[in-house]
């Protein structure tokens, strides 16, 4: 049985931090599904299609990465796709508390799905999509925070 992991998120936009975490997790699994949680009630800056395009572009060199989206609970999406692991990045104590709470609920919903926490490298621990969006709102260059080749003005 293949070990497939899910790396869920909003990726609004994808950052170097996301990319590094996914690449760090890849040797642990046979494949990773990167899925955008498409919550119609959550306001995002970039369209679902554009976010999916950027993720595909970022990982165009890696055939073991699949890019998709889901509208149901993450744990239900995993069950429907036969995914046994959820990978989450944890930058700090606040992230850990939030992610641990979600992992505990997911375990209650399906004890067979395991959550794996991965720490970012120090050069990426300050990068988040919300920081990128904030800088964009003030007209700053966000290129240093984005995967190579990603242009948010396209």
Q: Which position has the token pair 């966000």? A: 142
Q: Which of 2, 40, 42, 43 is catalytic?
A: 42
Q: Which of 18, 51, 70, 88 is catalytic?
A: 18
Q: Which of 10, 16, 70, 129 is catalytic?
A: 129
Q: For the sheet containing 114-118, what is the strand order? A: 65-70, 31-37, 4-9, 85-89, 114-118
- Is 2 labeled as catalytic in the residue annotation? no
- In sequence order, the 6+-apart residues with CB closer than 8 A to the CB of 124 are 15, 16, 17, 20, 21
Q: What is the dihedral of CA 91, 93, 95, 97, to 10 degrees?
A: 150
Rounded-to-integer distance, Cα 129 and Cα 94, Å: 16
The gap between the terminal CA atoms of the chain, to the nearest Å, is 40
- Is 129 labeled as catalytic in the residue annotation? yes
Q: Which of 50, 79, 91, 133 is catalytic?
A: 91
Q: How many helices (H) and strands (E) does the chain have?
A: 5, 5
- Is 128 labeled as catalytic in the residue annotation? no
Rounded-to-integer distance, Cα 78 and Cα 83, Å: 5
- Is 80 labeled as catalytic in the residue annotation? no
The catalytic site residues sit at 18, 42, 91, 129
């Amino acid at each position: 049985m293949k070990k497939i992991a899910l790396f869920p998120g909003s990726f609004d936009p994808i950052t170097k931090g996301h990319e590094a975490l996914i690449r760090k997790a890849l040797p642990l699994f046979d494949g990773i599904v990167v899925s955008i949680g498409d919550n119609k009630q959550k306001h995002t800056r970039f369209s679902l299609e554009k976010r999916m395009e950027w993720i595909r572009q970022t990982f165009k060199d890696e055939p073991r990465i699949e890019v998709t989206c889901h509208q149901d609970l993450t744990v239900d999406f995993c069950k429907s796709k036969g995914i046994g692991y959820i990978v989450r990045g944890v930058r700090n104590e606040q992230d850990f508390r939030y992610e641990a709470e979600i992992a505990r609920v997911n375990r209650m919903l399906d004890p067979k799905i395991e959550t794996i926490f991965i720490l970012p490298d120090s050069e990426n621990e300050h990068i988040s999509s919300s920081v990128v969006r904030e800088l964009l709102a003030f007209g700053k260059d966000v290129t240093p925070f984005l995967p190579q080749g990603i242009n948010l003005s396209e």
